């Protein structure tokens, strides 16, 4: 196995994947498929403690720290949101906290999905990204302290 792809490399990979589709309908179908294939958050974590309130859609997010990397599992009750959650997990999962904090999420713009991150959408994604960053900060402090 070669070296692990960086966050921006995975982002580029996603952009290429989406470029394959000619119209937005194809892109959304693909996004929804990706959401379907996201391994669900363990039912025991599908609770209020891990819930990010989005008002319209709900997102659950759990993070753990393994061998210096953050492992994310997540879920959403809406398919489009879940697809976007799957993309975020795909790029950010199993990364060092510092890389997560510095992550460039521009790929979402390039696949024309960035509008979904607006807080006015009330779908929990904007809050999810904030929560991801908080986890990264938290784990960074933990790892520096030990």
User: Which residue's entry shows tokens 């994310």?
Assistant: 72
Closest approach, Cβ 36 to another protein, in A, equals: 10
Q: Which two tokens stand for residue 135?
A: 């986890």
25 near another protein (CB under 8 A):
yes
Of 82 and 95, which CB lies nearer to another protein in the complex structure?
82
End-to-end CA distance of the chain: give it in Å, rounded: 30
40 near another protein (CB under 8 A):
no
Catalytic site positions:
55
Among 15, 71, 80, 101, the residue binding another protein under the rule CB under 8 A is 80
Alpha-carbon separation of residue 131 from 14, 18, 31, 55, 135 (angstroms) = 23, 26, 22, 16, 6
**What does the binding site for another protein look like in residue numbers (CB under 8 A)?**
24-25, 28-29, 32, 55-57, 77-81, 116, 123
């Amino acid at each position: 196995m070669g070296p692990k792809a960086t966050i921006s490399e995975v982002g580029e990979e996603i952009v290429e994947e989406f470029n394959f589709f000619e119209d937005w309908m194809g892109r959304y179908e693909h996004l929804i498929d990706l959401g379907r294939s996201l391994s669900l958050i363990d039912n025991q974590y599908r609770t209020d403690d891990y819930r990010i309130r989005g008002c319209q859609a709900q997102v659950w997010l759990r993070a753990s720290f393994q061998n210096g990397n953050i492992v994310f599992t997540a879920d959403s009750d809406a398919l489009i949101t879940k697809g976007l959650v799957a993309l975020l997990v795909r790029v950010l999962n199993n990364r060092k906290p510092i890389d997560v904090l510095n992550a460039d999420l521009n790929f979402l713009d390039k696949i024309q999905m960035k509008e979904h991150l607006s807080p006015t959408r009330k779908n929990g994604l904007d809050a999810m990204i904030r929560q991801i960053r908080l986890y990264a900060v938290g784990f960074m402090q933990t790892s520096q302290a030990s």
